[in-house]
Amino acid sequence: MSDPTKMKAVAANGVTEVRALMQHEMETGRRKDESGKLVPAWYITDFKVQHNGRTVLEGQFGTSVSKNPFLVFRFKGGKAGDKLALSWTDNRGEKRNDEVAIG
């Protein structure tokens, strides 16, 4: 079971700034463990951020996104108390969906 995405969203002057830290190993499939065995690729492939159900940002990751993918972005609109949800899927088919209220 994966850990929840750490997320903070602050609305000011009609713009909401979102900072998100997804919790994921993001294994490239090229790293070897201590016994010299290749660690299989394991990484987030897709994510989506929705504000009150409307997609504001979505994307696809390859294996070169750092461990615990970090994103900062801004969108017009959003006010304190609105719901912001970030969902992701990884290459093993695991999914997460986490929500915060805009502050």
Applying CB under 8 A, which residues contact other proteins?
15, 28, 30, 45, 54-67, 69-77
Q: Which residue has the tokens 């713009």?
A: 15
| Residue 82 beta carbon to other proteins: minimum distance, rounded to whole angstroms | 14
Cβ nearer to other proteins, comparing 71 with 85: 71
User: Up-side HSE of residue 74: CA atoms within 13 Å toward CB?
Assistant: 9
Name the helix (H) or strand (E) containing 46.
strand 44-51
| Residue 78 beta carbon to other proteins: minimum distance, rounded to whole angstroms | 10
Cβ nearer to other proteins, comparing 1 with 27: 27
Cβ nearer to other proteins, comparing 1 with 58: 58
Cβ nearer to other proteins, comparing 15 with 80: 15
User: How far, in Å, CA of 87 to CA of 21, rounded?
Assistant: 12
| Residue 54 beta carbon to other proteins: minimum distance, rounded to whole angstroms | 8
Q: Are the C-beta atoms of 26 and 68 separated by less than 8 Å?
A: yes
Q: Which residue has the tokens 């969108």?
A: 75
